[in-house]
Structure 1
Amino acid sequence: MIKVDRRILKTQEALKKAVIELMAVKNFDDITIRDISDRANVNRGTIYLHYMDKFDLLDKIIEEHINNLRELCHTASEMSFQEGNYVWFEYFADNHLFFSTMLNTKSSAYFRSQFLDLVVQEYKVEVDVTEGINQGLSEDVILQFFGAAVVGIVEWWFKNGMSVPPRVMAEQTGILLDRNF
């Protein structure tokens, strides 16, 4: 494994944080490289050492969180839906600024699409339309229905200031998922 210089990691984290903080107060299209460099306290040229442009930076941030969620799914694959959901909701809470910004801004369509695709992929192994309560139903309809439900409840949670603790969110969404898979 290649060891990355701490200064590089620190700079990249500052840039990621800066763009998310800016998106919380400004439309992404209106954010400039200068805005990002000022917020991160780095030279404009430093951004281009790490990213092609602000779109590449945002893509990398989204990719990182989607990959982290995917990894959490694999880690939680042997858990109940409640336990697995708790892992996700804790991650959401720990990364509140990113998720609340990405799910509550005009710039959220791309992230929402990526998030929905991830949820659908992860639940695909749980769907059985050959027997049980979902017998005879379309697998695609079930996956889109529950994927949209999960993404929707996470959006609702952030829009309402995470007023329900992560543990309660995990338990209640886990119960709903257990009833249907």
Structure 2
Amino acid sequence: MVKVDRRVARTQEAIKKAFLELMSEKNFNNISIQDISDRANINRATVYLHYLDKFDLLDKIMEEHIYNMGNLCNPDGDWIEETMHCMEYFERNYLFFSTMLASEGAPYFRNRFVQLNIEGFKKEVDVTKGKNLGQSADVVAEFVANAFVGVVEWWIKNGMPYSTQEMAEKVGELLERNLSH
């Protein structure tokens, strides 16, 4: 893994934070590189040093979160514990998720989020026995992934009315009920 200079990392974080704040305030199409640089307190050339344009910036932010969730939210049998890791990640990155999901800032991200979960849940579905006997693994994975993403959206849109622990317990139990043998 390539070690990133701390100043570069700080600058990129400032750019990403400024961009997400702006996306939570106004439409993506109305955000300029100048707006981002002003908010991040850097010059425009610095933004272009790190990103091709605002589309590249958005893509990189989304890919970073998809990658992190893929590594963090992998079920290994303990649904509540794994769901806890995910809920804590959503809470730590509230600005991103509230912008991408609650404000419908990027429908593309929601689709990627669902796909990530479909791929993960598909590995856990057993249609040869138990409550999913005779079901289609694809249908079960689609159902559970869309339900999971929908619940996360609801939680974020409503200002996280339950703690991460409560959500992990509630959602983890539902996942276990629908995916366990």
* Fold shared by both chains (TM-score > 0.5): yes
Q: How does the TM-score come out when normalised to structure 2?
A: 0.95
In structure 2, runs of 5+ residues without a counterpart are none
Distance 1:93 1:52 in 2: 29
Residues 2 and 106 (structure 1), Cα distance of their counterparts in 2 relative to 1, 3 Å cut:
closer
Distance 1:2 1:21 in 2: 28
- Report what 2:17 is aligned to: 17
Q: Contact 2:90–2:97 at 8 Å: present in 1 too?
A: yes
C-alpha distance in 2 between matches for 1:127 and 1:106? 30
Amino acid at match of 1:44: R
Note if contact 2:144-2:178 (Cα within 8 Å) is conserved in structure 1. no
Task: Give the CA deviation at 1:105.
Answer: 1.9
Name which of 134, 148, 151 aligns with 1:150. Answer: 148
Name 1:62's counterpart in structure 2. Answer: 62
Where structure 1 has 5 or more consecutive residues not aligned to the other structure, the ranges are none
3-state secondary structure, aligned to 1:179: helix
Which residues of 2 match residues 24-43 of structure 1 at below 5 A? 24-43=24-43
Moved over 3 A (4+): none
Number of equivalenced pairs: 179
How many angstroms does 1:52 deviate by?
A: 0.7
Please point out which of 78, 81, 101 is paired with 1:80: 78
Counterpart residue identity of residue 169, structure 1? M
Structure 1 CA distance for aligned equivalents of residues 157 and 102 of structure 2? 7
Q: Distance in 2 between matches of 1:84 and 1:28?
A: 33
Determine the structure 1 residue equivalent to 2:96.
98
Distance 1:180 1:151 in 2: 15
**TM-score scaled by length of structure 1:** 0.95
Partner of 1:110: 108
Please state how far the C-alpha of 1:107 moved relative to its aligned partner. Answer: 2.3
In the TM superposition, what is the alpha-carbon distance from 1:78 to its structure 2 partner? Answer: 3.1
How far off its partner does 1:79 sit?
A: 4.7
**Residue 73 of structure 1: how far off its partner (Å):** 2.5
Alignment identity in percent?
Answer: 56
